[in-house]
Structure 1
């Protein structure tokens, strides 16, 4: 293998950054991959903050289940936990959500730009596995 066959430092850096953005997006999609977590995000978007008990009152789930979902969202940094006495109040991490939106938008833009052009009237064949 000659020196010209090796990837450039810039190419490696771009690949690492691309992988990091894939990992970031995957983490976000995983955290949002359950309807209860999306419901929690929607609830907090309307109410600004809530303790676990308030969230439980709006979902048909046990308190322990809601706590587990809150933990997943917190680990993904989509929520901020503010301990107040015996309760924790949860807020949306708007900065992380904005980052998630940018990451997702970039992903879909890149995916759509890679889609082959289809002449008018033709359809892309769909295979069923």
Structure 2
């Protein structure tokens, strides 16, 4: 493999890793992209665990709706379900949340550094487009 081929491969691998991290971060953002799911995460952050009924008692939502939101958070890896008999106790997957925080911080750091390097880094205001 020539030096040029090797550099292309390295760049592609870096891009593939970047894309994978972006996909993971996007999945977390999608899961957290609903006010009810944010409220559930905040509730679970304040306690070690809760079953669905306990979460329902603190939200103005039907049990079936809360169950659907819990499933979305679980599918994204943000919740761990500890099944005890017929009850499922939910707890935050703090490792996944820490990983998502790292990905998110890296994402914003890259945007900031790219913005600083841009020769026309003027801030565009919303009212500039009206």
Q: TM-score range by the shorter chain?
A: 0.7 to 0.9
Could you tell me how far apart the structure 2 residues matched to 1:46 and 1:76 are?
20
Match of 1:64 in 2: 64
Pair 1:103 & 2:106 matched: no
Could you tell me how far apart the structure 1 residues matched to 2:5 and 2:51 are?
57
Match of 2:21 in 1: 21
- Structure 1 unmatched runs, 5+: none
Match of 2:123 in 1: 124
- Structure 2 unmatched runs, 5+: none
Count the aligned residue pairs: 125
Pair 1:74 & 2:93 matched: no
Could you tell me how far apart the structure 1 residues matched to 2:9 and 2:98 are?
30
Moved over 4 A (4+): 3-7
State the TM-score, normalizing by the size of structure 2: 0.87
1:125–1:80: structure 2 CA closer, same or farther, 3 Å change rule? closer
Note the aligned Cα RMSD (angstroms). Answer: 2.3
State the TM-score, normalizing by the size of structure 1: 0.88
Once the two structures are superposed, residues 4-37 of structure 1 have per-residue CA deviations (whole angstroms, 9 ceiling, x without a partner) of 4896211110000000011011000000000110
Once the two structures are superposed, residues 65-117 of structure 1 have per-residue CA deviations (whole angstroms, 9 ceiling, x without a partner) of 00000000000000000111111000100100000000000000001111146
